[in-house]
Structure 1
Amino acid sequence: MAILTEAEDETKTQSPTPPENKPQSQSQSPFPFWFYFTLIVSLATLIFVSLSLFSTHNDPRSWFLSLPPPLRQHYSDGRTIKVQVNPGESPIEVFVAESGSIHAEKVLIVHGLGLSSYAFRETLKSLDSKGIHGVAIDLPGNGFSDKSRLVIGGGDDGDEIGFVARVKEVYGLIQEKGVFWAFDQMIETGDLPYEEIIRLQKSKRTSLKAIELGSEETARVLGQVIDTLNLAPVHLVLHDSALGLASNWVSENPQIVGSVTLVDSSVSPALPLWVLHIPLIREVLLGFTFGFGKLVSLRCSKEMALSEIEAHRILLRGRSGREAVVGSLKKLNHSFDIAQWSGSDEINGIPMQVIWSRGGSQEWDEEGRRVAEALPKAKFVTHSGSRWPQESKSGELAGYISEFVSLLPRSIKRVSEEPIPENVQKLLDEAKAGGDHHHHHHAHAGYTDAYGLGEELTT
C-alpha cells in the first residue's frame, strides 16, 4: 500500500507541470520576430552599402580611366556634340571622329550595331591622305556616345525594375517611415504594404534606361550631326547593319546626299548580338577576351589583332552598351527590302557603290549577288577582307571610297539667301543714291560672302 501511495504522490506532483510551459512560450513569441527582422534590415543595409561602393567603380570617369591607351587617344582626337534623339527628351552626347581638310569632299561613315568609330580610325587616316574629309560617328548606344539616359519618375505599372531595385525601394521607404510603420502595416493588412511603397516611391524613382535606336531615331541623329558639322552635301558610307538604320534619312534627304557606299551591308549585323541577350553566355563572351575573340573571328573578321578585339569588347560592354545594342537590334526592320528602297523615286538618282567581301562564306557571296541584283545601277567591287574589313584592309577600303567620290561631279551647295540686315541695306541705298560706282562696288562686295547676297555657288 505504501508503494501505491508514493506513485499517486508522484503523479500528483508531476501533473501541474505542462500547463506552466504554455504561457512561457506565448510570452516569448514576439522576440524571435523582432530579432530576425532586425537581422534582415541590417543585412540589407550591408548589401546596399556594398553595392553603392561597387557602383562607384563603374561611373563614366572611372570607366574612362581604365581604358587602354589607344581608346583614350581615339577619344582625345575626337569631339562630342549634343543631339536630341526623341522629342521631349533631354539632349545626349554623340561622339564623332574627324580627319582631313574641311574644304575637301565630305564622307560620313556610319557603323553597324556593335561597332563604333574606333573601328574606322585607320580608314579616316587613309581618306585624309587621299584628300577626303572623313567623319566617323558613334551612334547613340555605341562607342563613346551616351548609351543610357536618366529617367526620373515611374513609368507604366508594367515596367520591370528588377528584384534588387524593388527590394531597395522597400528598404528606402522603411528607412523613411521607420520600422514600426512597416510593422503596423503588416499587422493591419497581413502583408508587406508594397502597393503603398510603389505609390510613394514612383514619383521619385530614378533609373538609367538604355538608349535604343531604330530608323527614326537614327534619322534624327544623322540630321543633327550633319547640320552641326556642316557636312552637307555628304557622301555616306554605310557599313554592316547601318543601311537599315540610315535608310529613312537618305530617303528623306536625297538633295544633300552626294552618294551612298555600302560596305558588306545586310539587314542583320555580322556580330550575332542576340547571344548577348542570353544570361551566362553574355557574361562569358563580354567578360573574357578569348570568348569574344572567337565570336568575332567566326562571324566578322579573321584578321583582327587581339588588341583590337579587346577594344571592341570593352566599348560594347561598358556603360550599358550591351543593353543598348540588344535593344536596338530588336528595333531593326528585319523585313527591309533593299530593292524596293533603291527603286523609289527619292533614291533612284543617288550614285551608289557596293564594296563586298570576296573572302567570306558561300552564303555571304550569295548575299552579295542578291544585293548587286537589287542595285543594278550601283558600282560593284570586292575587297580581300572579311565582313569587318575596316581594321585590316583600311587602305583598300579608303581607296575604293575616294576613287568613287572623285569620279562624281564636285559637290556644290547653294548658299541660302538671308535677309539683308537693316544697317547694311541702308549703306547700299546710300551708295546707290550717291552714284559713286567705286563705293557701290566695294559696299556690295564687302557683304556678299558674309550675308549670302544673290545665288552664289560655293564648294
Structure 2
Amino acid sequence: MAIITEEQDSSNSSAKRPTKKPRLKPPSTAPISSNPNPFTFWFYLTISVSLVTVIFVTISSLSTHQDPKTWFLALPANLRHHYSNGRIIKVQATPHSDSIEVFTVRDGPKDSSHNVLIVHGLGCSSYIFSNVVKSLGKKGVHAVALDLPGSGFSDKFVTVVEHKPMGGFGRLVEMYNEIKEKGVFWGFDQLVEQGYVNYDHEENEIRMSKVEHLNAIELGPEEMGRVLRQVIDTMGLKPVDLVLHDSAFGLGANWVAKNLGFVSSVTLLDSTSNQTAFPLWVLKWPVVREVVLGFGFVFQKVIQTCCLKSGGGSDSDSHRLLLKGRNGRKSVVGMGKKMNSSFEIAEWGELEGVKDLPMQVLWSEEWVEQGRQVAGVLSQATFITHSGGRWPQEDTSEQLAESIHEFVSKIPKPIKVAEKKEPIPEHIQEILDEAISNVHHGFSSHDHGHDHDHGHGHDHGYPSGYGLGHEYS
C-alpha cells in the first residue's frame, strides 16, 4: 500500500503554480551618449572672442577720445611738470599743409658753442630724455629734445576738410538752416510770393557740404626732415650735434645726407636703420593693443623685455599714458609703416660728406651685439657702451650726458663756426653799403632825430606763435 507524503503534494503543487514575471524598469530618461559636436567649441569660442573684442574696442574708444584739457588734467604730476618746462613750436610737415604744434624741452645756455638736438624713436617721447637734457645743461651744453608730431605732447591729429555734393536730406537741412538764419518771415514771404521757398535758385543748383574729420599725423622721412629743419632754424641750433635715438635714424638719415651744413656731428643712440626697440606689432592687433595700452603691468612687461633694462616703475606708466593719449597709437603705427626698411646704413656712411662727419655709436650693454654691427659698418664712428637699456632711464641719464658731452667737446670749434655765416661777395657788399648810406642820409634829412619806435617796443625776434610767446634767441 503506497503512502503519499505531503512533500510530494507540495512539490507537485509548486510545480503547477505559475512563476512571477520580473518587473520591468521604466525606460531611463538619461540622454544617450554620443560623440561631441566639434562645431560647438568653435561656436562658443567665436562668440567669446567677439564679445571680448567689442568690450575692449568700446573701452578704448571711450578712453582715447577725450578732449585735450580732460586728458591733460588726468596726467600724473611728473608729466605735467615736464610739459610746464617745455615750449611749443609751430612747423609745417608739408609745404601746403596747416601748421602743427611740436613740443620741445631745452636746458643750458643758449649762447653755448654746442647745440645738441635729441630725436626720440617711435613709441616714446622727449620725456624719456628730460634728465639727459638737464644733465647736459649743467655741463654748459645747449640741449634740446623734441616730441615728434604724433608723439608725446605734440599734435597727433590734423583736421582735414572735404567738400562733397549735398544730397536730398542735406539740402533739407541746409534749407532749414537758411530759414533759421534769415527768419521764419523770410520763408513765409517766399511761400506767399512764389508758392514755395526759393531755395533751389540757380546759384544754389549745386551745393557742397563741408565735412571735417581727423587724420592721424604720420611722418615719413621727407616730412621728418622738414620738421628737423624748422626746429633747428627756429631755435637757432645750426650747426647742430644731432642725437638720433632708436628708429629716428631711419627717419632722419636721408635729411642728414642732404643738409650737411646744418649738422656738426651725429650720435646714434641704440639706433638702427630698419628696426624699432618697441615692438610696433602690439599696437596693430585689435585685442592685443587694448590689453597692452589698457593695463600698466602688461605695458611694463613689454618694454622691460624690449626696451628697458629694468621695469621702469612709474616711468613705464608715463610712457603708456603719452602713447595712449589722444590715440597717438595710430600715428606711431603709421610712421612705422613709412620707415625705409631697405635703407643700408653702410652705404649711408660712405656718402660724400657723411663719411667726414664726426660720429659715435652709443649702445646698451644688454644688446651690445647689435651695436657692434652698426659700428662695424661705419668706419668713422667710435663705439661706446652704456649700462642702460634701449630706452634711457633715470639711473643712466648722467652717464649718457657725459658720453655725449665728451664727444661734442672734441669737435674743433672752427669747423662749427665756419658753417654759421658765409662771406658776402665784394660787389654785393658795395651795393649794400651804398643802400645803407642812402637810408641813413634820408633819415637824417627828414626825421630830425625823432624816435621811430614811438614806444611800441617792436620785437625783431620770432613771431609770438613760436614757443607761445617765448623767443629762442
- Relative to the length of structure 2, the TM-score reads 0.67
- For 1:244, give the aligned amino acid: G
Cα shift at 1:170: 11
Higher relative contact order (CA 8 A, sep 6+): 2
**What corresponds to 1:334 in structure 2?**
341
**What corresponds to 2:38 in structure 1?**
none
Residue of 112, 117, 120 corresponding to 2:129: 120
Percentage of identical aligned residues: 49
Matched-pair contact (CA < 8 Å) for 1:303–1:392: no
**What corresponds to 1:312 in structure 2?**
319
For 1:344 and 1:313, the matched residues in 2 are separated by 38
Residue of 399, 404, 408 corresponding to 2:402: 399
The DSSP-based 3-state class of the residue aligned with 1:98 is: strand
Matched-pair contact (CA < 8 Å) for 2:244–2:267: yes
Cα shift at 1:338: 0.3
The DSSP-based 3-state class of the residue aligned with 2:362 is: strand
Q: Deviations over 1:358-416 (max 9, x none)?
A: 123xxxx3322211111121111111111113443111101100000111112314435
Q: Deviations over 1:95-125 (max 9, x none)?
A: 1100000111100000001111100000001
Residue of 96, 100, 108 corresponding to 1:92: 100
Cα shift at 1:348: 1.3
Residue of 268, 271, 278 corresponding to 1:265: 271
Residue of 121, 146, 150 corresponding to 2:159: 150
Is 1:287 the equivalent of 2:297? Answer: no
The DSSP-based 3-state class of the residue aligned with 2:353 is: helix
**What corresponds to 1:366 in structure 2?**
369
Matched-pair contact (CA < 8 Å) for 1:390–1:397: no
**What corresponds to 1:129 in structure 2?**
138
Residue of 196, 216, 223 corresponding to 1:217: 223
Matched-pair contact (CA < 8 Å) for 1:153–1:202: no
For 1:114 and 1:55, the matched residues in 2 are separated by 19
Counterparts of 1:165-204 in structure 2, within 5 Å, are: 176=173, 203-204=209-210
Residue of 64, 71, 75 corresponding to 1:63: 71
For 1:379 and 1:54, the matched residues in 2 are separated by 48
- For 1:59, give the aligned amino acid: D
Aligned residues: 344
Counterparts of 1:372-411 in structure 2, within 5 Å, are: 372-410=375-413, 411=416
In structure 1, list runs of 5 or more residues that go unmatched: 1-49, 156-168, 179-199, 431-449, 451-459
Cα gap change, 1:56 to 1:403, in 2 (>3 Å): closer
**What corresponds to 1:111 in structure 2?**
120
Matched-pair contact (CA < 8 Å) for 2:300–2:312: no
- For 2:389, give the aligned amino acid: S
The DSSP-based 3-state class of the residue aligned with 1:302 is: coil
Larger Rg: 2
Residue of 58, 72, 77 corresponding to 2:85: 77
The DSSP-based 3-state class of the residue aligned with 2:278 is: coil
Superposed CA RMSD in Å reads 3.1
Residue of 223, 232, 236 corresponding to 1:226: 232
The DSSP-based 3-state class of the residue aligned with 2:366 is: coil
For 2:279 and 2:261, the matched residues in 1 are separated by 35
Q: Deviations over 1:329-369 (max 9, x none)?
A: 10011111100001010311110000111123xxxx33222
Cα shift at 1:317: 0.5
